[in-house]
Structure 1
């Protein structure tokens, strides 16, 4: 058999070992009524070459696991993805990833397979999750021919839903971290941002339990109603 298999006529090639790994990736687990402290959740942060969802690329992936109601520091993920031909422009001033660091990063298919294996069937948490979901989904499709189907929960939605008294309607991660007295070791660094996002998630889960919202399924249902109210108020 050939060493490479082409995904499309113009698309990327994968080694047979990579195709085997892709075939064994776990399907996402359905949401259920398990208590939040019984869930394994993966908190994700991406650094990208910019904010254009169609053109920019994922440069680094940072993730940490919440399991048993606590951050499991033994389950952390960090990869810089090789991107030797990318013009980074002003984005390097934000994420601090030098072109030499990116050029020396992990091969993209390997890094993305590593992350998906780390993720398993777990739901994902992120701040402004829509951006991370679309960027990661496009990277997986272009690089691996794999469709991202995992559920994302957006802490930028959960925070004002669960803590309306904070009066931070459209705040960023820095605003909520400051509100709760959290400190990131290094902002705009994927692993550090994932860790402070996980700390914020634990605070929000504590607030959720006080409101009798002790499962992802319950949070999802409450979010549906909250989104409808937000849309109605916008008109």
Structure 2
């Protein structure tokens, strides 16, 4: 389905200016076979109102860009989304976003459009990407009537593939940052978590090149093969 046809489906009420911005968004590109050093990759982290993917909401988005083999600190995105009905709860102790900060956040449609324009056609990478992908997809569909089509890579899956000697098969971000001696400025803060995930990704890409995996497409293919082998019972 074309982007224009999707926009014409019944959905959220958007202003003409917002619809025009949606129509100008580039078409996401599939994972490329170009060398990793030539890629632009957006590393994403979300803070949410909880861990229920069907009920909870995206509260903040943090993202940083890996381009030309390095983290480009000039390309960063950080935004708190306005949620008028958000109340303090158990998750507030984790992400530290006070209800007053969330009420004062950016209008969700504008915030998500800004993020999509920042993202462009680039693929995404996150740690435990399945959750972030689902939450972002649901936010885009509910707020903009748009289906997320960007490829996603998961650093939590790539790390044990590329570094089996670490013996951290199902470890979290803290375990992997500790293993590589990375420093996290403020854990469970979207921008800080996105930045340390990008640092982890650069280490993983260096390991990948040593294993003759020098493209996002090659990494994804190797990961799928490895996951199939992991799922096959030993005889």
For normalisation by structure 1, the TM-score amounts to 0.94
Unaligned ranges ≥5, structure 1 = none
Q: How does 1:218-233 map to 2 (within 5 A)?
A: 218-233=218-233
In the TM superposition, residue 172 of structure 1 has moved relative to its aligned partner by 0.3
Partner residue, 1:156: 156
Q: Secondary structure at the match of 1:161?
A: helix
Aligned to 1:26: 26
How many residue pairs align between the two structures?
Answer: 229
Partner in structure 2 of residue 53 of structure 1: 53
Query: Which residue pairs with 1:217 in the alignment?
Result: 217
Shift of 1:33: 1.4
Q: What CA RMSD, in Å, does the superposition of the two structures yield over aligned residues? A: 1.6
Q: What is the DSSP-based 3-state SS (H/G/I as helix, E as strand, rest coil) of the residue aligned with 1:71?
A: strand
Q: Would you say the 8 A contact 1:6–1:14 is kept in 2?
A: no
Taking the aligned partners of 1:177 and 1:234, their CA distance within structure 2 comes to: 31
Q: Secondary structure at the match of 1:47?
A: strand
Structure 2 portions without partners, runs of 5+: 1-6
Q: Closer, same or farther in 2 for the Cα pair 1:203/1:233, shift >3 Å?
A: farther
1:41 match: secondary structure: strand
**What does the per-residue CA deviation read over 1:92-128, in whole Å, with 9 as the maximum and x for residues that have no partner?**
0000000000000000000000000000000001000
Equivalent in the alignment of 2:102: 102
Offset at 1:88? 4.1
Contact between 1:213 and 1:219, CA under 8 Å: does it hold in 2?
yes
Q: How big is the shift at 1:232? A: 1.8
- Counterpart of 1:111 in structure 2 is 111
- DSSP-derived class of the 1:14 partner: coil
Residue 32 of structure 1, CA deviation? 2.4
Structure 1 stretches of 4+ moved >6 Å: none
Deviation at 1:26, TM superposition (A): 1.3
Q: Does the 8 Å CA contact 1:44/1:62 hold for their aligned counterparts?
A: yes
CA change 1:54–1:88 in 2 (3 A) is farther
* CA-to-aligned-CA distance 1:173-210 (integer Å, 9 cap, x gap): 00000000001100000000000000000000000000
Deviation track 1:112-161 (CA, whole Å, cap 9, x = no partner) reads 00000000000001000000000000000000000100000000000000
Residue equivalent to 1:181: 181
1:30, distance to aligned residue in structure 2 (A): 2.0
Q: Is the 8 A contact 1:38 1:69 kept in 2?
A: yes
Give the match for residue 132 of structure 2.
132
Preserved contact between residue 109 and residue 143 of structure 1 (Cα < 8 Å): yes
Structure 1 match to 2:205? 205
